[in-house]
Structure 1
């Protein structure tokens, strides 16, 4: 889905807010890496990548490989905004039994 630059900037700032909130609530983590790639993740997930939360295992979907583990909260925030899972899970970052171990 193509979006205009203003929409992408707004989404990127929303992801940054989610990152800070997740890390604050978890009392653990490094916000810098996630905040630093928020624009990149926003552009890819909300404008460029061919993905569909209704069919997450589609064989010809695009894939994003993140090698910088400390940045994963921004990917979690993007996936929640895209409805891959509920945003109610975001505050569970790094808690026992959470799918968001980061």
Structure 2
């Protein structure tokens, strides 16, 4: 868990870069919704939430519900950067056969 504000800022900057890259690669999406949530999701996933990609079904884990579907890219970025799936998979946003579609399910 990251508690240092400078480290969180650095992760958030990386997340914003991921968002821009994903949306550019897919030539589709809504950048504002994801970019505006980057600092919030970074703080939650890297600084506050009790989550572990090595034990994703832990009964005591925190849960996160995203009701802002157009912000899927920010969710995908923080999950990848946290270690839930390879960062390279972010390049598959909105592609046929990809797990990473325009709205999370």
**TM-score bin (small chain):** over 0.9
In 2, the alpha carbon distance for the partners of 1:62 and 1:2 equals: 16
| Offset, 1:46 | 0.3
- CA-to-partner distance for each residue in 1:61-88, whole Å, 9 max, x for gaps? 1011000001010110011111100011
Distance in 1 between residues matched to 2:22 and 2:11, nearest whole Å: 16
**1:78 matched to which residue of 2?**
78
Give how far 1:2 is off.
Answer: 3.3
TM-score, normalisation: structure 2: 0.94
Give per-residue Cα distances to partners, 1:41-73, cap 9 Å, x unaligned: 010000000000001111111011000001010
Q: Aligned residues, how many?
A: 102
**Distance in 2 between residues matched to 1:8 and 1:72, nearest whole Å:** 20
- Is the CA contact (8 Å cut-off) linking 2:2 and 2:8 kept in structure 1? no
Equivalence for 2:88: 88
Q: Cα RMSD over matched residues?
A: 0.7
Deviation at 1:11, TM superposition (A): 0.5
Any unmatched runs of 5+ in structure 2?
none
Q: What does residue 27 of structure 1 align with? A: 27
**Structure 1 partner of 2:39:** 39
Q: CA deviation at 1:29?
A: 0.3
Q: Flag as ranges the 4+ runs of structure 1 deviating above 6 A.
A: none
